[in-house]
Every structure is written in C-alpha cells, then in structure tokens.
Structure 1
Amino acid sequence: MTGNEMSPEARGGMERHSYDVVVIGAGGAGLRAAIAAHEAGARTAVVCKSLLGKAHTVMAEGGAAAALGNRWPEDTWQVHFRDTMRGGKMLNNWRMAQLHAQEAPERVLELEDWGALFDRTEDGLISQRDFGGHRYARLAHVGDRTGLELIRTLQQRTVQLGIDVFMECTVTEVLKQEGQVAGAFGYWRETGRFITFEAPSVILATGGIGKSYKVTSNSWEYTGDGHALALRAGASLINMEFVQFHPTGMVWPPSVKGLLVTESVRGDGGILRNSQGARFMFDYIPDFFRAETADTEEEADAWYEDKKNNRRPPELLPRDEVARAINSEIKAGRGSPHGGIYLDIASRRDADYIRKRLPSMYHQFKELADVDITAEPMEIGPTCHYVMGGVEVDPDSQQSAVTGLYAAGEVSGGMHGSNRLGGNSLSDLLVFGKRAGEAAAAHATSLDQRGQRPVVDEADVKAAQADALAPFEVSAGPGGGGENPYTIQHDLQQSMNDLVGIIRTATELEASLAELERLKQRADRMVVEGHRQYNPGWHLALDLRNMLLVSECIAKAALARQESRGGHTRDDFPGPDPEWGAKNLVLSLDEAGTGVDIAEKPLPTMPDDLQQLFEDK
C-alpha cells in the first residue's frame, strides 16, 4: 500500500507514515486534490473510510455543470455565475462562485483528456442536459451515471500516478503543533490498529452529514467527519443551517426509502403529479422565477420543443422550491399511498428514450420497487441530500483558519450559499479539489524550504488514542449504565428528521437542541463490547461524536437565522429578510470543547463588474 511504512516496533508499536500532503476522503474532491498535489511535486497519500471507488460521488447521477456552450453558444461563465448566485439566494461567496463558473469547463475537458466517456451531441461534442435553476442546458453527462464515470476516471489516474491510498482507514483527529497542522491520527477499520500520518498539509474531502437524518440519499460514510475534525482543530463552519432536501428520493419499499432519484428524470421531461393527477408545480412558482418559468402546461411542453424561445417548466425550479412544493402537497393530503407524490416520465417519453437516457433509474425501480418507469409513474418524496454549509475557507486556496488545513467539496462552505443547483457539485469537486491540492503542496514545500515543518507531539497521539478507546472503558454490566451506540444513532436521526427537517419552527428547534444535549450525555456513556477487530459498534461510537457535534451546528444556526432562504425554511419567519441576506452565521467550538459558539459575519462585497450582471437581467 505504501513504500515508506516504518515497522511498528521501530516506532513505539504504532504504524506511522510521513507525507507532504494527506487527503482525507477519496471522492471526487479528494482524488482531484491528490492528483493536483502529486503533480505539484508533493509526496501525497489518500485516506478513505471505504474502498477506493466506493465514495458517495458515484451517486451523483445527473452531470457536471460547466458553461461549455456545446448546446447553447449563448451560455458563458457569467451566466453560470449568475445562476449559481441566484440559486443560492445571493448568500454564496461570490469569489468561489466566480472561480467555479470560470474554471469548470477546463476541469471537465481535462476529465475527457484523462479518458472520461461523456455522452455526445450530434456534432461529436460533449452533450449537455437541462437541470433545475440553470438558464441553459449545461450538465456534461454520462447517461445517469456521471458520478461513477468521474470516480472511475480520477481513480484510474490516481493509481496510474502511483499515489498511496489507505483504504478502510478512518481519521479521528487532526494533529497540530503551535497552531499549525502536523499530521493526522486514525485507525484501520479491519484490525483496529492505530496509525499516525505526519504531514504539514491535510485536505479534508470527507463529504456531508446526511446520516444524521433518518431519511437520506447519503451513504454510510457521511457522518460529518470532516466538519467535526475541522471544528476540533480550531477551524470554523459557515452556512450550516442550509441543508438541501433533494425533491426526489424513493419512498417505497421501506428498505430503500431516501435512495436518490436523479434530477435527470425531470431534466429529460418528467413531471410531478399529486394523487389527484394534477401537475401541481404551476401553483408554486415564486415571484423571483416567475419571468423565466412557464405559467401553463402548454408553455412548459413547448419549452422542450423550442427551448430558446419559451419559458422552462416549473419542475426545473431550484431544488429547494420543488422540495417545499412536494412537502406542501403531501401535507395537504394529496400524496401517494406511501407518503410521497408521483414523478411521471412514462407519459412524456417513449420506452427506448427512457432506457437509453436513464438506465440506472430504470434498473433501480425495476429491481428495488418492481416498478417499470417506462410504463408507470414513480413514487418519490424529499430526502436529505446535501449540506451547503461547511468549513470556512479562503476561496482561492481552500485553506481554513488553521494553517495547513484545507477543505474541498461538500465539506467546505461558501460556494453554494443557501441552496446548491444540481450539477454544481461535480464541477465544484473538480475546481476546488485541484485548487486545494495545489495550495497544500505549495504550503508543504514552503515549510521545507524554511526548515519549519511541524512535528507531531507524542502527547497528542496518546490523547487521540485514549479518546478512540474511551467507549471500551464504559461498563455494560448491572449498574454500569452503558448506552448502545445504535440506539443513540436511531434517536438522533429521528430527532433531526422530526425537528430540524424541511420546515422548521423556533419551538421545534429549541426542542431539538435540548434533545441533542441529552444525546450528548448519553453518548458519554456509550459502551462498546468485544475487541477492536471487525467491530462496527466501535466505528459507530466514534462517528457519533461527529454526528452529534455537526447536528448541533445545524440546529443552532437554524434557530438563529430568523428568515426563510434557500434550503432553510422557517414556518414562523416564512419570507426572506434583506438584513439576514447580508450575513453568514459562523460556528466554532466553544472553550470547553463540548459545544459550539455562533457569531454573525457580513458577506464579502461583490465587485461592481459582477454586480452589474444582476442589474442587467
């Protein structure tokens, strides 16, 4: 796995490795960062909880948004930038949105050079499909398996370059010396054996927080590890109140509830109907989008035939708008038998078209729900999908407030504001993964040139080891009071689902924070039985520390933001507030290290030339 391993006997019984850059996470952001760091000359390693190629990026099905202009020459980075800012309700970090829109086309073309097999237009160019919130068709895609192709391509290049990969290895702490990153501490999931990485640059690319919720499209790895690692290391988080509930997840059978149904279904013509057969999205078009959204079914249908001259269908509104509309229909009693609504593409496209454009969706419903989507509608409902909030980073370098600690992808905050447009995640991974990798490599090189590389403190290693072993120290016997981590996880997910979901109120959020305090106290009494080898209960006990901390950030920020904006909807403050639209909420670990502090911070001022893009339209 790596050529620089020292024997445990030679280094005090613990496995150790030395690198310039350690990337935590092997999804799109992590692999792109590792490639960039390696190509900049840094000795680089990737550490991932799962197997290489199994990262949650594979579930991003629709495409990567980039203003290539292959379908519509009118599309430019300026239009993409404006769409992104408007989708985020202007709470985005303008510089990140600008860099993303400008550099996404080059990153997509780079993937093609590395072997990605994108679908093609009639002229042989990379095909681009429509997605919600995008003015033009701009998602480069591979059927509805784009994330899988992205991971395949980046994984192949990572292996080709000889970058070391530590699979099924979990990082539990970022190690520092005098305020700077010195390395990371973790353990092998199979054996429970501890491992220390000595490195002056650590890149967090750990993805999201979805496993804090009962109904989610996220995979098991998404327990907020990177968010919590950053907090404990001294970095801050922003925008944590903004959790995106994807409008379309499976609702039946129960075993697959929450599993993603790609937005590509709607991008390729699918429409939403309630139990009465009504196409209800026309009743939920917000004034903000009224001028560019079809008001009638005839206009919407015409849009697919002549996109240039007609307004787009309301099913392609940004995800927050569609999710709220679906939620309203269900609450009004117009839902499907299993608590969702219907997504119908069978009546809009022929069977061959559906099987060709949406092969994964066809097989997913056929095999898991016994539904033929070429002949009948799908039952779908909102599912926790993405967190817009994450580590507060410098937009150009992706460095956090902690010197040597970087973040890219879903674990970083700022790029998407209060709501992410579909397709922006895959291009986000590529653009900022590359930037983080280059900056991390440059930082390590600079330290070496000055002879100032930080050193891992053995006391910190021992403390991290003791923290990891703490669940084994709680007694499970009579009077011991030990708590089962699975019970705590179940109660956490239920609480977040019920009290910090799509629609929020102060009363429910206050109740959620009180429940989180109780769960934290219960977590102190978590007990793990058996040994460190092959022990999923132990793994969950360590993950729960992160999940509880991140959940507190979400609930506390949601209570503080007294407005509705993007993915955050308050029933007691139903509209947006201009005052709140000018500031972020920043969260940091409190002095005791057991909770979070919250502060307001004004948004960075957008330059006049970019501001003009919104005044012209």
Structure 2
Amino acid sequence: MTETPIDDRQEPTTGTDVAGVENRIDGGDAASVDGLEYEVVTTPVLVIGAGAAGARVAIELAESGIDPLVIGKRDHGDAHTTWAAGGVNAALGSLDPDDDWTIHAADTLNEGHHLNDPEAVELTAKHMPDRIRELEEWGMPFDRTDGGKINQRYFGAQSYRRTCFIGDRTGEAMLETLIERARELEIPYRDNVMITRLLSDGRRVSGAVGFDMETGDGLLFRSDHVVLAAGGFSAFYRRHSSRDDENNGDAQALALGAGTRLLDLEFVQFHPTGMVGDRYGEEWDGRLVTEAVRGEGGRLYNEDGERFMERYSPDQMELDARDVVARAIAQEVREGRGTDNGGVYLDISHRDADYVRDRLPSMVERFESLGVDITEEPMEVAPTAHYTMGGVDIDFRTGETGVEGLYAVGESVAGVHGANRLGGNSLAETVAIGKLVGDHVADAVTDDDRQPAVTGDQRALAEREFRALEGLAAADGDLTPRALLDELGELLWDHAGILRDEESLREGLSKLESLRERTADLRVDGDLTSRSFEFAVDLSFSLTVAEAMFRAALERTESRGAHYRTDHPDTDPDWRVNLVLSVEEGELSIRRRGVGEPSEPVQDALEEGYELDYHHLE
C-alpha cells in the first residue's frame, strides 16, 4: 500500500488471470468482488495532475487527435499553478533587445550551480518565446509596454528583464488560459480524484488506482500511457508556500513505487519572502510574497533599519539568487537583527503608490485585508519552503522515465533547475517541456492503446489496493494523520532546512524512522471522503519521499545552491554530479551520475559573463 516504507515495498501482483472473479456492471464501467465495488475507466492517456504542466500535455495530445483523461485532486482550475504570481521567463527582448535564449540558458545554469541537465535547460529557454506567443494567441492578457509589446520585469539573478507578467497573478492567468484552451478542445477532465498507486510491474505501467474524494468509491484507470504532473514536495515543511493538501510528494512516491528513478532530492528551495505567521496569523504563515515585489524595486531591511543585502551582495542586492537572499535573511535573524516575530522587513513604499497598485494588485489587496498598506509601510517576511528542484528522472525530449509508458513533467521532475531554480522558470518549464512531452506521447499511442483491455492481474492489484485503503480508513489508534504531518513538518524544518549538517540530518532521519513506526497507531476520523483520510494518504507519500530526501542530503558532503551544509560550507568541484535514487531489492540505493555539458552557443554565453546589475533599478 502507499504507506509501505521504502525498505519494505511489495512488488506488484503477477499471478494467474482472475477475470472470472468479478461481476461486470454497465458494460464494464464498474465491477465488484466480495462486496467490493469500484469503477473501471479506460483511456489512451491518463494525465495525473491538472496544473499548467498537465494541461499543456493534454492540449498537445488533443491537438494531435488523442483524447486524454486529465484527473486532479481539486476542482477544475484549482491547481498550485495559480500561486505562481510573479511571472514567466522568455527571452523576448521587449525591453532589453540584447537578451536571447542562450543568455536565458546561461542564467539558468549559473543559478542551478551547473547541476542542471543542459539539454533540458536549452529546450526550455529555446522554446519559451514561441510558448509565450502561443499563450498570447490563446488570450493570455500579458501586461504591455507603452509601445504595445509584452512587458517584462527583472527577477532575481537574471541578466536582463525577461519575466513576462500579468500584474502579480501570472500563474492564475496562465492556468485560466490553458483551461479555456482545453475546454475548446473538449478534453475530458475528472476532478476530486486521488491516485494512491500506479499499476506497474517495474518495467511498464498499465494504469493507476485511486478513489473519488467526494464519494469514496474506488477507481481503476486502465491506460498504457500515464503522465505524472502532480507537483513537488515542499509542503512537507512547517513553513511553506503551498496549501497543506498539495505538493506532498505524490508524484515522487508514486514514481518510485512504480520502479522509476528519482534525482537530486536534496535540493529544496526556500523562497526568501514568505509571510510571518506571528505577525499576520497562523493561516498566513509562509504564504508567498511574490518575487515581483523585489523585481519592482522592493528593499530588505533588518530590525535596525539596515539594508543588509549591501553586506551579502552589493552588486545584485535583493535580486541575487534566492538561496543567497534566503540565507542572508536567516543569518540576520539568527544574529539577533530580525524582528521580534522572527523576520525582516520588505519595503516597496519608496515607489509611486499608483505604480505599486498597478504592478502588485494582489499583494496590495492581500495586505490591505490585514490592515497593512504596502504603498506606505513595509511587509514582514521570512524564508519559506517553496519549490523542489529534485524529482523524477526523465528524458526531457520525451518525458520518459525508464518505465515503459510512464512519463513525467513539471515540478514532478528534476533536471531543468539543478541546485537552485531561477525565478520565473517554473511556469516556463511547464509549457515548454509539457508541449514536447505531449507531442512524444501522441506519437507513442497506437490504435490498440485507445481502448485498452483490463486483465485479471490488473484487477487483482487494484482490488488489493482498494482493500488496503479501506483498512487505512478503519484505523482506530490514538494518533491522527494531521498531528503526524505537523510533527513531520517541524522535524524537516529543524533538521533539513536552510542550514544543514551531518549530526542534525542523522538525528532527523532517526526521528523520521520513529515517526514512521508510530503510524502503526494511526487513527482516521471518517471514511474515504474525509480530510483525515486524505491526510493519512498524504502522510504515506510524505514519509517515503522525506526519507529519500534525508539520505540524499547526507550523501552530498558539500554546499551547492539550495543545499547548504555548515559542516561542508564550500562547493566541491568533484561533487558536480547528480544523485540518482532508486529502490533495489527493497532498499534505497543512491549512485552518482556525471552532468552533461552545454552546447557551444550556451557555453559562449556563459563565458561572456552576463550578470544583472541591480542598480539599473535605482
């Protein structure tokens, strides 16, 4: 079942055909066995995840004549993409005509400390201008320059103004645009579905198993092509910028259980500016204050009124790399120069008030609701877990994972961002790589895949999972899933946060193992439709991926990007390798893999040494 520990994972059932056991209902759409009823759904391509990455894959499939089924955990249009506020990168040159895709790629590699997959970076940078123009054609209402071009703003560590935007609601506008395009193409969609296991024998995938979160009914999805687009795992942490019910490691745990490899799980990005819960209320703790605030000239001050980034990064100031700014804030707080609430101040009030309202409308509205006028006074901020660079190991031209028929895309995967993500590149990756993956999957679908048959073995594995889920729902111990998730969040924040060392990581791993043992005393309050049950499934995913993350963080004995080891504070050239994680004979295995080199044009851009000059904003 999904809560099985990494070192005790069971192989999928591969027995004799048991097709005679079940009673088919309504032409094969439903089945029952021993009182267990569930729905059977067949589709040529199953897309798990309904954010921008999943939507863009599905659009490409539909435009190629394939009818995929997209499933999501929430209502249609309610995906984490909507929280990506500040913008999306593309070297359009609207304001800086010297910018081009090679410089975009170079900035991405530099920000990723050269652990990125160079091909993935170049594919993203090269294709993004076309993807932006495509989104524009589909109706995305980008902000415009006075001359009518798509406007662009600075984001941290970018050499030029490259980030396209719609105020500070870019992700929301992008997802709305993609969903509208999907509706025009009549792409089938099913919401409020949670997947708990992929049907896989470790060599190929044949579908997925889960349940309807509104009815509790079991669901067996039969497909020879499954695309994972279910996000990352930053919500593990106590302070994070996601909602509590997303980015829980679903994609990574499902992929690992299906027999794929994971990559670079030690790299978790802490965004410098999350809201401070002790100031604004617990429900706001960690909520993102978009990088667009700093991109439009926002300044950071400590409690003493010092603009402290002058000490840490006098050239790039607040727009240095996210890992640099986050560590600077953490250092200020640790050394007693933070606010009483454990943060620092972010101030945009020196800019014209009407300009701030025009460029940052969502931030203005949010803080006004809390009694703060950001055109007149500063915001209180502190780092928050925001994005995971690690994920499923894929071929970026195809999305292939090494398990036949299983693909992955978006924050589910690793490769584009290396050791630290360049702001504005997350939305870029979703549509640039999403189109490529959709195109490849469309070519891979055969006529036989359009209505795949359901075998007895597939039903047997699904029915085993349904019984396990019912058993989980009936758990009547003393510990609630929510309480254990909260404990996990504290554990990760304390032992695998912005600053790490071997002693703390080992202590954290030991506590994690103890927490896993205590799940034997779990209590689920409600049936499969309850939030308690949903959190129980989230807990199983989280424990699996958190263990892998701890082990990868212990393995990498250097500091690079978002992974900062205080006991190994330097970047070691010998550690310019990716860490590949897989389950071998029931045990988690970690091996090193060399990183490729960029193409000659991108290498030339790297050698040119382009760099943002913050003082252009002064």
Q: TM-score, normalised by structure 2?
A: 0.90
Answer yes or no: is 1:340 the counterpart of 2:343: yes
Cα root mean square deviation, aligned: 1.9
1:237: which partner in 2?
262
- Partners of 1:159 and 1:374 in 2: CA distance: 39
SS at structure 1 position matched to 2:585? coil
C-alpha displacement of 1:255 = 2.5
Q: How far apart are the structure 2 equivalents of 1:272 and 1:522?
A: 42
What code does the residue aligned with 2:37 have? G
2-structure distance, mates of 1:177, 1:552: 23
Percent identity over the alignment?
Answer: 41
Q: CA contact under 8 A between 2:42 and 2:452: conserved in structure 1? A: no
* Structure 1 spans left out of the alignment, 5+ residues: 286-292, 295-312, 477-481
Render the CA deviation track for 1:56-103: whole Å, top value 9, x for unaligned: 110111111000111111010000000000000011000000000000
Residue among 350, 354, 364 paired with 1:362: 364
Q: Deviations over 1:79-138 (max 9, x none)?
A: 000000000001100000000000011111101101100000111111111100110001
Q: Which moved more, 1:523-532 or 1:410-419?
A: 523-532
User: Residue 288 of structure 2 corresponds to which residue in structure 1?
Assistant: 260
Question: Are 1:66 and 1:138, in contact at CA under 8 Å, matched by a contact in 2?
Answer: yes
Q: What letter corresponds to residue 505 of structure 1 in structure 2?
A: D
Shift of residue 524 of structure 1? 3.5
Deviates more, 1:460-469 or 1:406-415: 460-469
Give the superposition deviation at 1:197.
1.0
Distance 1:474 1:9, change over 3 A: closer
SS at match of 1:574: coil
- 1:338 partner amino acid: N
Would you say the 8 A contact 1:503–1:571 is kept in 2?
yes
Q: Does 1:499 align with 2:495?
A: yes
Alpha carbons of structure 1 residues 339 and 556: separation in structure 2 relative to 1, 3 Å: same
Cα deviation, residue 447, structure 1: 6.2
Aligned to 1:508: 504
In the alignment, structure 2 segments of 5+ residues that lack a partner are 1-25, 610-618
1:378-397 equivalences under 5 Å are 378-397=379-398
Q: Paired residue for 1:189, among 209, 213, 216?
A: 213
Residue 579 of structure 1: SS of its match in structure 2? Answer: helix
Deviation at 1:358, TM superposition (A): 0.4
Name the counterpart of 1:597: 589
Using the alignment, how far apart are the partners of 1:146 and 1:168 within structure 2?
A: 24
- Residue 36 of structure 1 aligns to a residue in which SS? helix
- SS of the aligned residue for 1:126 comes to coil
1:18: how far off?
Answer: 1.1
1:164 Cα offset (Å): 1.0
Superimposed CA distance per residue, residues 386-434 of structure 1 (whole angstroms, 9 cap, x where no aligned partner): 0000100002111111111111111110110000011001111101111
**Corresponding residue for 2:91?**
67
**Matched letter for residue 196 of structure 1:** L
Offset, 1:475? 4.2
Residue pair 1:399, 1:406 contacting (<8 A) in 2 also: yes
Residue 606 of structure 1 deviates from its aligned partner by 3.5
> In 2 relative to 1, CA 156–415 (structure 1 residues): closer, same or farther, beyond 3 Å?
same
- Listed as ranges, the matches of 1:129-528 within 5 Å are 129-176=153-200, 179-219=203-243, 220-251=245-276, 252-253=279-280, 254-285=282-313, 294=315, 313-346=316-349, 348-367=350-369, 369-445=370-446, 448=449, 457-476=458-477, 482-528=478-524
SS of the residue 1:14 aligns to: strand
Q: Partner amino acid for 1:322?
A: V
SS where residue 419 of structure 1 aligns? coil
Determine the C-alpha separation between the residues in 2 that align with 1:329 and 1:5.
65
Alpha-carbon distance in structure 2 between the residues aligned to 1:529 and 1:61: 35
User: Given the superposition, is the C-alpha separation of residues 613 and 350 from structure 1 closer, same or farther in structure 2, using an over 3 Å criterion?
Assistant: closer
Residue 79 (structure 1) aligned with residue 103 (structure 2): yes
Kindly report structure 1 stretches of 4+ aligned residues shifted beyond 3 Å. Answer: 4-7, 9-13, 446-449, 451-456, 472-476, 605-610
For residues 512-542 of structure 1, the C-alpha deviation after alignment (integer angstroms, 9 at most, x for no partner) is 111111111122332324333x311111111
Q: Is 1:553 matched up with 2:545?
A: no
Does the CA-based 8 Å contact 1:177-1:454 persist in structure 2? no
SS of 2:205's equivalent? strand
Please name the residue that 2:13 is paired with.
none
Deviations 1:522-570 (A, max 9, x none): 22332324333x3111111111110111111211111110111111100
Give the secondary structure class of the aligned counterpart of 1:46.
strand
- Matched residues in 1 for 2:60 and 2:310: separation? 45
Structure 2 vs 1, CA of residues 7 and 407 (structure 1 numbering), >3 Å: closer, same or farther?
closer
Paired residues of 2:234 and 2:268 also in contact (CA < 8 A) = no
